[in-house]
Amino acid sequence: MFKNSKKIFFWLKSISISFFFFLFLIVINEFYIIKTTQNFIFSDIKKIPEKKVGVILGTSKKVKNGYQNLFFKYRIDAAVKLYKEKKIQYIIVSGDNRALDYNEPMDMKKALLKHNIPEEVIYLDYAGFRTLDSVIRASKVFGQTSFTIISQGFHNERAVFIAQKRGINAIGFNAQDVGLYYGFRTYFRERFARIQTILDIFIFNSQPKFFGDTIEIGKQKT
């Protein structure tokens, strides 16, 4: 009985130490990413520098219950605002098109068209499966070494961090945020996504799943 108690105590202690160490890593990681990117992310459209291209990071148009996804809506609103204020000239919509009935780039394009954004300034990136893919492909496939990333603030921090560590001069424009109750799952997943980002950048040197042919922004479409 005594031996079993010692074993239980040992395992509980080990689990507790591991848990607090994991929390410590999360806090350090949060501080590092925020501190690194804070001067490159903007919420005030009057203060953000002009860039040739804005990149909207993809998300689903609707949530599981069929209602509108506010993360999606607010990113579109932010991109429209940037374009109409002449802070960007072209827009890359980068996301996942994993199935015939799921196509983030096309959904974003349709939403932009409804806001009277000209079709000729919209470019579709169908291989933005992850934030890392979207950021690196904007540089390697679409030829942009300096651009504006459009998403919510927490997402922009991670995206701009990835850009910086890959030698890309990106800034972020913050779309309207979503309340904690509505976006809790997204905010929770972000903590783990940031840890994965550190591993991708410093350990695995991860690359996009696909590259493909170079696409020239601003060239007349055929």
**What SS3 class is residue 222?**
coil
CATH code assigned to 2-204: 3.40.50.620
Arithmetic mean of pLDDT over the chain = 90
Q: What is the pLDDT of residue 184?
A: 87
Lowest mean pLDDT among 23-32, 59-68, 125-134: 23-32
* pLDDT at residue 218, rounded to an integer: 86
Residue 135's nearest CA partner among 119, 148, 153, 122 is: 148
Residue 94 near residue 125, CB atoms below 8 Å: yes
Q: Which helix (H) or strand (E) holds 124?
A: strand 122-125
Please tell me the chain's helix, strand, coil percentages from 3-state DSSP, rounded to the nearest 5.
50, 15, 30
pLDDT in tens, 179-188: 888 888 898 8
- Cα 116 to Cα 10, 110, 150, 216: the distances in Å are 64, 10, 18, 23
Angle at 120 between CA 96 and CA 138, to 5 degrees: 45
Measured CA angle at 141 (ends 44, 200), to 5 deg:
75
Look at residue 171 and tell me whether its pLDDT is greater than 70: yes
pLDDT in tens, 90-103: 999 999 987 777 89
On the CB side of 127, CA atoms within 13 Å amount to 14
- DSSP character for 85? T
Tell me the two tokens of residue 219.
Answer: 């060239």
pLDDT at 22: 63
What predicted TM-score, i.e. pTM, was given to this entire model?
0.89
Residue with tokens 């203060």: 47
| Confidence tier at 213 by pLDDT (50, 70, 90) | very high
Q: Among the ranges 51-55, 96-100, 197-201, which has the highest mean pLDDT value? A: 51-55
- Residue 49 backbone class (left: φ over 0; alpha: ψ -120 to 50; beta: rest): beta
Q: Which of 98, 94, 136 lies closest to 112 in space, CA to CA?
A: 94
| Amino acid 222: pLDDT | 47
Rounded average pLDDT over 151-155: 97
